Structure 1
């Protein structure tokens, strides 16, 4: 009802609308579906209508800029992040130690749940002897202590990471920090990883867009990303990054190693990644596209191009005669 009532809809990637040859898009799945106990929907949403638009988010250039722009960086912030994330005396809530903190870092940052797949990253790193020999694994997430979480899935994933750390004996090469960084710190942590000739990885089992991917690329961090969702539209494989299936641990680990083990490849991915964000994911481009669409649809509404009056009456009738009474009945039953 909400989507059909909207004057226009903005998505961040094509896959949200139409999916791929083998996967259904999110909006595509709303054409026919069931809400058990409420009703079945047929022709609920047509993703082919002109109301659907793809406008990817943009990077804030004030905070996310390349590591080589030294004059823009705040040294106090850099030193603080080096100490709290990679140093011998990390911040409270950190797990693990780094025997050689100056080695390249395989870096990931996200919340903890099954879809974000941080446990899968720890496992594929633990399985790869050459990755463990070449680089440290550094993760920043919202929490590292299961006793402080009330979310069942988060607790399961936290415990799983501890199991994998012990199983693969990752002491000395694995640092896991629980923290919520602000925008200034987020931009600088990517640049610190770039200083170390490290890499940012996004191993999610599904990612709608992947804002962290373009932020890392803008800061001069090469990336290896999931093939599921928006990151696969952001990255040009073999140019501005690498795309792999995170369920294939060997292939994903090989992609990481291919970048961090070859200086020329690393530098090539950095250069192309910065250019990719500059030309396709700048904040000014995002804002201008939104303004253009707003003007276009305002003009269409003035001309009644969409001829929405009959649809609006249908939606109003559906909500008040079907959806609302049944929803209220379900709530009383609960």
Structure 2
């Protein structure tokens, strides 16, 4: 499969309850239009002959309160599409606002999945801010183009809530809005393409972001599944949902004013009820049908939906609307298209009075069933009404405006029929999933032709990275490599130009399945400068600052999971204070210091022995690891950090056995990576402090200096050949 020319597309949608059939739309604030969007996008992409595979990646949920469907690791949608569910935090169902601490795990699990597939995706397409955070990191690691669809935006949500009088600390406490906005800014900065549903979304909503780049944005409206949403035929029978409505209504045959949404404040259902309740003519003309998700006991719902339902019940009671308003507790997913058809059959109207509406998928669904629509003059509805010409826009805060639009639609039968007919024609022309995917794939083809990558580059990278003579890989080989060569820079990889050129040539000619990494005590900036100076191709992996930092090429993206792992109980300032008065020990210049590495010069004629220095730190209850090399350099790093630990972390994270890593070093600060189960080589110009490793079965002491020694090791281990057989032979020694 890895050699197939077909597109491999990963869609990421972290939150909500996602499955292929019977979507629980409206169950809660997280299971709405986005879940339907991503499933239908996956299905339609898979039908296109240009696409080889589509993985819709979401969170695995194993919770007795929800269906066991969401605990299945893999759900097949079609021959080429499947839902992949990955572990992300607690196994129980969680609302999206509390998922932020677990998203790094989701990124790691997505990498693991990609490695299992054995093919780097052509595109990672993320949906909403949480997926954007995950996808930005993974796309950056891989050098894969990142496509993003926001669905709704944190800055806009914050602005609306503040306008409604909600205090900033309440918004922060409940929605973790700062983390969401930060994730959106990172995603916008790294995305090669942002897909918006409307021009207003691009021009007004995204424009308030610091990383707003309209040249990377395109408007591609979502589609409607025409196989499900279509007009009722002449022989169409009353559907099951009608029986759910009958107990509420005195006259079931009156036209319907239908509204379908989640029970959220911004959906503005209360204004619709007020408009209906305060207008006797409307009550005489039509019933009001409100489908607001599913519920059992209002009092057990979350505070937001509970507040919405309490207000609805109070308004129904205030205006004495019993017998005129239906608000069923349950419905199946198949009931929704039937509800539209029922609305059209009795010449009713569909209304979306939301305060804000990024798109309005229900509007095009209703249109595809022949129902005229009334919608808020915000966002998507403006584009939909302009294209379909099948209804009216309203000011959602103007009760009279809502009443006038409803009366016009319900009383003018000729206009009603004209809007119904125009909607049926135009929705197929502008809003089918097939047309959406065709425009989508046109953009993806540009990625392949132009080799567009994720633009994420969160670190200041030296200008040398863009040097035309320096080879920078298009993508990272970690997901597809079956072995890895990791070298120290100083006195190992670099030092002999001829040997280095021969090593580069052999890797290029024989190492097609080999990943390449650097492990060094140098800082990232110093490492990149040295690699550029010697024209060594950009590595897939950079372990720098004595193993305290991990980065992935070609975009030089940091591994934040490693930073969190080693930062446990790190007390940098306390360490500096304890070290201050030790004789013969002097801090190195500021450019040698890092967040998780404190570096010193050691004068052995004056300083205590290395072990005494470490004991001194331990007596002060400071968990720290010391790396001493060349009889003069001391690096203090977190207890969990070292080159060896970093290599093992990378091996675990990317699913590659550590026995398939060949590591090359020359000094004491390389000991942790040379020891253990890795294949190791000590080059001929090594420091005496590493002599103690001689005799270890998987440590080869080469005669050649610098890269000549690495070339020897490639032959000694048959590293580009039958590596597994060589490991068996070594195990017998």
Task: Please tell me whether residue 105 in structure 1 is matched to residue 251 in structure 2.
Answer: no
- The answer on whether the counterparts of 2:229 and 2:368 sit within 8 Å (CA) in structure 1 is yes
Partner of 1:48: 214
Partner of 2:314: 163
Task: Please tell me whether residue 28 in structure 1 is matched to residue 180 in structure 2.
Answer: no
Task: Please tell me whether residue 287 in structure 1 is matched to residue 437 in structure 2.
Answer: yes
Partner of 1:332: none
Question: What are the ranges of 5 or more consecutive residues in structure 2 without an aligned counterpart?
Answer: 1-185, 462-554, 569-733
- The answer on whether the counterparts of 1:8 and 1:297 sit within 8 Å (CA) in structure 2 is no
Partner of 1:229: 379
Between the aligned partners of 2:460 and 2:286, the Cα distance in structure 1 is 59
Residue 193 of structure 1, aligned match among 343, 358, 362: 343
Task: Please tell me whether residue 152 in structure 1 is matched to residue 303 in structure 2.
Answer: yes
Task: Please tell me whether residue 203 in structure 1 is matched to residue 353 in structure 2.
Answer: yes
Shift of 1:79: 3.0
- The answer on whether the counterparts of 1:112 and 1:143 sit within 8 Å (CA) in structure 2 is no
The structure showing larger relative contact order (alpha-carbon pairs under 8 Å, at least 6 residues apart) is 1
Between the aligned partners of 1:213 and 1:314, the Cα distance in structure 2 is 45
Residue 17 of structure 1, aligned match among 190, 199, 202: 202
Task: Please tell me whether residue 65 in structure 1 is matched to residue 230 in structure 2.
Answer: yes
Shift of 1:121: 1.1
Shift of 1:238: 10
Partner of 1:130: 281
| TM-score computed with the length of structure 2 as normaliser | 0.37
Shift of 1:286: 0.8
Shift of 1:291: 1.0
Helix, strand or coil: the match of 1:115? helix
Between the aligned partners of 2:353 and 2:369, the Cα distance in structure 1 is 19
Shift of 1:283: 1.5
Shift of 1:162: 0.7
Shift of 1:314: 4.1
Shift of 1:28: 1.2
Between the aligned partners of 1:157 and 1:267, the Cα distance in structure 2 is 34
Residue 114 of structure 1, aligned match among 265, 285, 293: 265
- The answer on whether the counterparts of 1:18 and 1:47 sit within 8 Å (CA) in structure 2 is no
Partner of 1:6: 191
Shift of 1:124: 1.2
Helix, strand or coil: the match of 2:228? coil
Between the aligned partners of 1:180 and 1:81, the Cα distance in structure 2 is 7
Question: What are the ranges of 5 or more consecutive residues in structure 1 without an aligned counterpart?
Answer: 20-24, 32-44, 89-96, 330-334
Between the aligned partners of 1:7 and 1:117, the Cα distance in structure 2 is 35
Between the aligned partners of 1:30 and 1:124, the Cα distance in structure 2 is 36
Partner of 1:247: 397
| TM-score computed with the length of structure 1 as normaliser | 0.78
Between the aligned partners of 1:118 and 1:298, the Cα distance in structure 2 is 46
**CA deviations over 1:191-217 (Å, ceiling 9, x no partner):** 011111111000000011000000000
Between the aligned partners of 1:141 and 1:60, the Cα distance in structure 2 is 21
Partner of 1:260: 410
- Stretch moving more, 105-114 or 3-12: 3-12
Shift of 1:298: 2.2
Between the aligned partners of 1:47 and 1:249, the Cα distance in structure 2 is 38
- The answer on whether the counterparts of 2:388 and 2:427 sit within 8 Å (CA) in structure 1 is no
Between the aligned partners of 1:112 and 1:277, the Cα distance in structure 2 is 27
Shift of 1:297: 2.4
Question: Of the two, which has the highest radius of gyration?
Answer: 2
Task: Please tell me whether residue 80 in structure 1 is matched to residue 265 in structure 2.
Answer: no
Between the aligned partners of 1:136 and 1:242, the Cα distance in structure 2 is 19
Shift of 1:30: 1.2
Helix, strand or coil: the match of 2:212? coil
Between the aligned partners of 1:285 and 1:312, the Cα distance in structure 2 is 35
- The answer on whether the counterparts of 1:236 and 1:242 sit within 8 Å (CA) in structure 2 is no
Pairwise CA RMSD: 2.5
Helix, strand or coil: the match of 1:221? coil
Shift of 1:133: 1.2
- The answer on whether the counterparts of 2:387 and 2:426 sit within 8 Å (CA) in structure 1 is no
**CA deviations over 1:19-47 (Å, ceiling 9, x no partner):** 2xxxxx1x21212xxxxxxxxxxxxx133
Shift of 1:243: 0.3
